[in-house]
Structure 1
Amino acid sequence: MMSKSPESSPSTVVHVQVSAADAGQRLDNFLLRHLKGVPRTRVYRLLRKGEVRVNKGRAKPDYRVVTGDSVRIPPVSRSEPRQDDRPLPPGLVDLLERSVLLEDDDLLVINKPAGLPVHGGSGVALGVIEALRKMGRGEPFLELAHRLDRETSGCLVLARNRQALLAFHELLRGGGIDKIYLALLAGRWPGGERRVNAGLARNVRRGGIRLVQVDEEEGRDADSLFIPVRRFDQATLMDIRIGTGRTHQIRVHAAHEGYPVAGDRHYGDFEFNRRLKTLGLRRQFLHARALHFTLPGSGRTYAVEAPLEPELAQVLKRLASLD
């Protein structure tokens, strides 16, 4: 039960009891849904300062709420402009509508454009999830089922109900999703396919930026299978299948093997990126090209493929013409 609505009375403390429908949701996402219009940075600041309490104790953003939890939400000022009041950039609605690959009662899958983050935050006002919620598609429930880097294009899954979201997360935890990426790597890859098992450690600071690095002793397990598709004189086009989904996994594993992703500003080869820029590459060449999985509960099997953006296809043609 909700003693008061945080939207109707933002100047007072409210206590929200978690229902069965919300169970399993991350605390940060739970708060963002109950504090619509409050900037994400403000919500995370409340969490860091301990102003949000779960069962009278502090909780981290990734804590998953359970049925019956009592969540204390402090007074929140909405003096800042509400995100919901900001108009969508021109052309974004049409771009996202054209990006839809599949939709049914459970899932919405889009071909995420490169350069568009999956959600707002960290100085970015608008992401895919906020834009889709504002587009008036009649979505009573819409949540990101997983994430892609801002500069990565391709298959992005959103859940249209709580059951589908939990079922997709179950597949992610169990490795039940066949995720296939297409990447252009710097250099001519020797030999055939290669599996890379190298643990990854997050939040490594380099030049003030949080990055990821290989850490065989303390890093989290990460598994990537690199499969050469086409070799050029100075680059290799790769299919990459990942059994895990760690932050920046493909980019870090590729760089660790000595063949970084083309256009990667943080883990890549500066000189190679500069050469590829003359061929028209203005972004990171990493594309989530396909997803294959069977959703628990419904039992439906999905096989979704996202076409390569014209810019990347053109880069491949220009590389081929140089061979």
Structure 2
Amino acid sequence: MARAPFLIPAAVIVAGIALSSIFVVDEREKALVLQFGQVKQIKTDPGLGFKLPLIQEVVKYDDRILSLPTRPLEVTPLDDRRLVVDAFARWRIVDLVNFREAVGAGGEQVAKSRLDSIINAAIREVLGSVPSTSVLSADRTPLMNQIRDLARREAAALGVDIIDVRLTRTDLPDQNLSATYARMRAEREREAADERARGGEAAQRVRATADRTVVELTSEARKQAEIIRGEADAEANRIYAEAYGKDADFFAFTRALQFYASSMKPGSSSLVTQPDSVYFDYDRFLQSIGETAAQ
């Protein structure tokens, strides 16, 4: 019975030591067992693990895919047109030993800082080898894949894998926006003026062609009208000649009536003659017309 007071503290100490030798790894984690800073065990499967109490320690790392928004940076493409670029990367720890040796006790925070520098360097290298039109294009997938592959090679030394890199923003610097907008506006106005000039030139050609066509059609119509009128007059003269040949008196009578009708129209010129004029002597008038027609 005298030993009972000593057994209870001993049992507590033993239980504490036993519990301190057990650790649990979540399915979202990986763990390293370190002894005086040296890696003694790698625990990648979820469940219970064991270590030497007081001598060994457990360091856990996230086994999920992690995100990293990079800081904005200015890049200069081939055409010397500065751009502000933001990127978003997704990465994962794949080699715990290399990761621990590369980042030390800093863990994921140090890794993010190192990865930020690696990705920004890859962005500068890739985007600096193409014109700004390619960077501002709607399809930047080839460029992002190049950045990812280049950053992946550099990040392998950290024990991590760069899964994906996406460019989230590619804009002009604020101090260049006004000048760029003014230049774009001037270019659009110049293009509009060129289009208006070409349209005016085309309209002038159309009008000239239409005017020439009108003149040609009018001239042709007048020529055809004159031809038809001449043929009609010739036909009328032929008919008159045939009629005169058949009945000279009737022809003279018809001509006299036409003359009276045209000379006696209301509003025509006044006729001044003597009372004994041939105009009032129908027989003499017909005789004069017949002599005129015979001539």
Please indicate the TM-score interval, normalised by the length of the shorter structure.
under 0.3
More helix as a share of residues? 2
Higher strand share: 1
Larger Rg: 2
